[in-house]
Amino acid sequence: MNEDTIHDVIMVGAGPSALAAAVYTTREDIETILFEKGAIGGLAAITDQVDNYPGFAEGVAGLKLAEQLEKQAERFGAKIELGSVDKIEDHGEYKLLHTSDGPFKAKAVLIATGSDYKKMNVPGEEEYYGRGVHYCATCDGAFYRDKRLAVVGGGNSAVQEAIFLTRFTSHIDLLVRSTIRASDVLKKELQRMVDEGKITVHLATTVDEIVAVDKKVTHVAVHQDGQPVNVEVDGVFVFIGLSPNTAFLEGSGVELDELGLIKTDIELHTSVRGIFASGDVRSGATMQIASAVGEGATAALKIREYLEQPKE
């Protein structure tokens, strides 16, 4: 790649928001490159079933939705690079992106890096990641057929993934720090699983440590109602929320809120001229695939307007 080439737009991330934006930019002959360091399709790609995306009356598998978005963007000419963007510098007429593939210049940038799963930061969590500790039920649930699992969390994701995991496991212990915060629909389904003996809910429970013997997870040490308890399991799935992927923006001038999400104006412009943000990484986002896609389309239109403006 010629280091002097200034591309029209580079999008950081290739989740639903960026892929939707790329469909719009490329259809208008705006040269578009996307950088993705993880899974194309983002968290949507590792979601078992998406039931609230418009146009799919029976729901759609998250991976299938992600694949269709990818194919659609590439059909119009979007180029997807598997690599990371580690730093962005503002040079006025262009932005300099330091990537794992070297430096890239762009007239405009869309940041749509989404969020990643929060960690508990307890002993054993990092040590046994991928070997007893997981953050994706659809990716790793099948490894625990007829095994006993702990699922940590009390929100929509934790309850939904616990329900999904019942198709593999012999039993699930749902470890909830305070109370169940899931939607009423999920609460009813959870209660059905409890009544059938597939899930046991442990409220007022905090995880202290994930314990293994001979590198195999054997139990979770918790405090339940203030008392130390060991919950015997073969694996642990953690769903305690999301953390925005914005660490690479340090020193870029892009303003973040107190949660680390990117602040934008009504046109999805950040505090740096020529840099836009959309989707789950944006402050005020609703954390829904449908809205992320809509924001991606809006960002693309605003990027087109920006590129058409006469430069001073």
pLDDT digits (tens, 9 = 90+) for 166-181: 999 999 999 999 999 9
End position of a domain, from candidates 238, 270, 299: 238
Q: Give the per-residue pLDDT at 117.
A: 86
Are residues 262 and 211 part of one domain? Answer: no
Domain membership of residue 148 (yes or no) is yes
Calculate what percentage of the chain has a pLDDT beyond 90. 85
Q: How many domains does the chain have?
A: 2
- CA separation (Å) from 309 to 84, 93, 211? 29, 12, 59
CATH number of the domain bearing residue 73: 3.50.50.60
Q: Give the per-residue pLDDT at 64.
A: 94
287 or 221, greater pLDDT: 221
Q: What is the mean pLDDT of residues 126-142?
A: 90
Which pLDDT band, with edges at 50, 70 and 90, does 99 fall under? very high
Q: Give the per-residue pLDDT at 1.
A: 52
Q: Give the per-residue pLDDT at 136.
A: 86
- Residue 64 belongs to what domain range? 6-116+242-308
What average pLDDT does the structure give for the chain?
A: 94
Amino acid, res. 199: I
End position of a domain, from candidates 223, 238, 253: 238
Could you list the active site residues?
136, 139-140
End position of a domain, from candidates 182, 204, 238: 238
